[in-house]
Amino acid sequence: MNEPFIKRSELVRKIIHQKKYHLQPAHQIITESEEEAQKFFETALKDNQEGVMIKNLNAPYKPGARVGHMLKYKPEDNEFDLVITGAEYGTGKRVGTLSSFTLSCRDEKTDNLLEIGKASTGLKEKEEEGLSFTELTNLLKP
């Protein structure tokens, strides 16, 4: 876990081999070329990926922490009108609060709600930082 990302990646690629329909390492490139990075990003989107991860090659592994050594790069999202139709209680530092939310949109033809996915990010851990998991739990629980 203390090895830099680049070494951990090399070790994974030695033990996990490309085989269709089996566990395989993520596609990756190491480049300083903006053009090559953009092409990789566009290929990922065409392959129905959400985007790409940009990682610090020298960062150690920190379980549960992504801040400071990696960045998710994805297209700008469109705005959607969604409602929370389900929620699950969290664990660890989020125990006792709802922290994973099922989101739905309205089908204009049938007026039914259609589940489209889950979200668990975008809220703050503490109330002074903005809408928190505790505040949302208090709003949704009744």
Q: Write down the mean pLDDT value for the chain.
A: 85
Which span out of 41-50, 84-93, 123-132 was modeled with the highest average pLDDT? 41-50
Which DSSP state fits 120? Answer: -
Kindly provide the residue ranges of all beta strands, DSSP E only, lying in the chain, ordered along the sequence. 52-55, 70-73, 83-89, 98-106, 113-119
pLDDT on residue 104 = 95
Structure tokens at 28: 């990756």
pLDDT of 98 > 80? The answer is yes
CA–CA dist 120, 133 (Å, integer): 9
Q: Give 18's pLDDT tier (boundaries 50, 70, 90).
A: confident
The more confident residue out of 21 and 78 is: 21
> What is the three-class DSSP state of 6?
helix
pLDDT of 72 > 90? The answer is no
Domains of the chain: which residue ranges? 5-73, 83-140
Q: Does domain 83-140 have CATH number 3.40.190.10?
A: no
**Could you report the per-residue pLDDT of 20-70, keeping only the tens digit for each?**
788 888 889 999 999 999 999 999 999 989 899 998 888 888 776 666 788
Structure tokens at 94: 């989020």
What are the CA-CA distances from residue 50 to residues 6, 45, 62, 74 (Å)? 23, 6, 23, 6
Nearest partner of 85 among 50, 112, 110, 124, judged by Cα: 112
Structure tokens at 41: 């990003």
The more confident residue out of 104 and 76 is: 104
